[in-house]
Structure formats: structure tokens, C-alpha cells
Amino acid sequence: MAENKEQIAFQKFINGDLGLAKTYWIFLVLAYIIFNILLFFVTQSGERFSIFLLLICWYIYEPLALIALARAIKKYQGKNIWKNLAKIAVVLAWAGYVMGILKFLSAF
């Protein structure tokens, strides 16, 4: 039963059913802040495998969050300013994602 709840929660997330504000602020902004705090501490430790693992996790998670946000934008019925700002955020985040992946791959 718990697995079904987790699957339903993930489906709501990925389909953009959690709303624009929640998807943006919790699943992108807060997640990004937590990721950067973790990355700071992991890089301070100098443990290269941990850094690698953390980056891989983020590079798997971020596209899912951006897809969820794009879908939440399509479903958003509120003010256009928030919809347009979120669209800009998605474009900038995808650009940052691609640049981050290229930088990550160039390290090898």
C-alpha cells in the first residue's frame, strides 16, 4: 500500500499536479539550496566519489523537476506574470543544466 502512495505522489509530481508554486519553490528552489549545501560539505571533505555521486543524483533529479515544473506551468490558471516568470526560470534552468553536464563531462 505504501508503494502505491509513493507512486501516486510521484505521478502527481511529474504530471505537474502539485501546483506551480509548490513545484517551483519546494522541488526546485529548496531542492537546489539543499543540493548546494550538501555539495559544499562534500567538496570540503575532498571525497571525490561522494562528489561524483551527489552530482549524478542531481543530474538525474533536475530534469524530472524541470519537466514537472513545465507541466505545472501548462496547468496553471493564475496570473500570467507567474506563468511567464516560471517559463523563463525553466529555460534558464535547462541552459544551466546543459552547461553543468558539459562541465561535468569535460572533467573526464
pLDDT in tens, 43-86: 999 888 999 999 999 999 999 999 999 999 999 999 999 999 99
The label of the residue with cell 531542492 reads: 31
Tell which residue, 72, 76, 77, 90, has the closest CA to residue 15.
72
pLDDT in tens, 2-37: 568 888 999 999 999 999 999 999 999 999 999 999
pLDDT in tens, 29-44: 999 999 999 999 999 9
Cβ contacts of 58-62, under 8 Å, gap ≥ 24: 59/97, 59/100, 59/101, 59/104, 61/31, 62/93, 62/97
